[in-house]
Amino acid sequence: MDRIFNAEFALGHMNYWLFVILMMTGLYIVVARGNLLKKIVGLNLFQVAVFMLYISMGKVSGGTAPILIDNPNQLYSNPLPHVLILTAIVVGIATTSLGLALIVRINETYGTIEEDEVLEIDHQMHADEVAKVEKLKPAKLDAS
């Protein structure tokens, strides 16, 4: 009985191994880092991993471009993953630019792009507003 997992199998599926490594690296960066810019980089890494997975699934060994030829026995590569990735690249660029624009606005407002510092400043601003509202409320008259 042949072993299912061997070096030839591992090397033959190298694109999937790289996909897993890139995706987990991107996910780790998004979850573990507090810097908003690093989170955008992690999302882009995650996105590239998904692109690589779809493109590698669309490739057929020995397949050619899907152009109609008179030979009915011709093997074609699937064009759908490549078309989807073109659309995903455009969406990814738009998402990245929106994220970077938001980071610029956050930096202008809070003076930092560290997530924990932004949350701390926001909590302090909310506490100050609550104290100001409490101070402005008229004193309740005693009914007794």
In a domain, 109, yes or no: yes
**Predicted local distance difference test score (pLDDT) of residue 142:** 58
Q: Render pLDDT for 85-142 as a digit per residue (tens, 0 to 9).
A: 999 999 999 999 999 999 999 999 999 999 999 999 999 999 988 888 888 777 665 5
- With CA atoms as reference, report the closest residue to 101 among 128, 93, 24: 93
**Predicted local distance difference test score (pLDDT) of residue 141:** 57
**Predicted local distance difference test score (pLDDT) of residue 1:** 45
**Predicted local distance difference test score (pLDDT) of residue 2:** 58
In a domain, 87, yes or no: yes
> Count of domains in the chain?
1
- For residue 92, give its domain range: 7-60+77-118
In a domain, 139, yes or no: no
**Predicted local distance difference test score (pLDDT) of residue 103:** 96
In a domain, 108, yes or no: yes
- With CA atoms as reference, report the closest residue to 53 among 92, 96, 16, 23: 16
DSSP assignment of 4-38: SS-HHHHHHTHHHHHHHHHHHHHHHHHHH--BHHH
pTM: 0.75
Calpha distance 54→142 (Å, rounded): 72
Check pLDDT > 90 for residue 12: no
Q: Which residue's structure tokens are 């606005």?
A: 105
- Asked if 91 and 101 touch (Cβ cutoff 8 Å), the reply is no
Q: What is the CATH number of the domain that holds 85?
A: 1.10.287.3510
- Asked if 36 and 48 touch (Cβ cutoff 8 Å), the reply is no
- The residues near 59 (Cβ < 8 Å, ≥ 6 apart) are 77
In a domain, 111, yes or no: yes
Residue type, 95: T
In a domain, 14, yes or no: yes
Segment 25-43 shows an average pLDDT of: 94
Q: Render pLDDT for 49-74 as a digit per residue (tens, 0 to 9).
A: 999 888 888 777 777 777 777 777 77
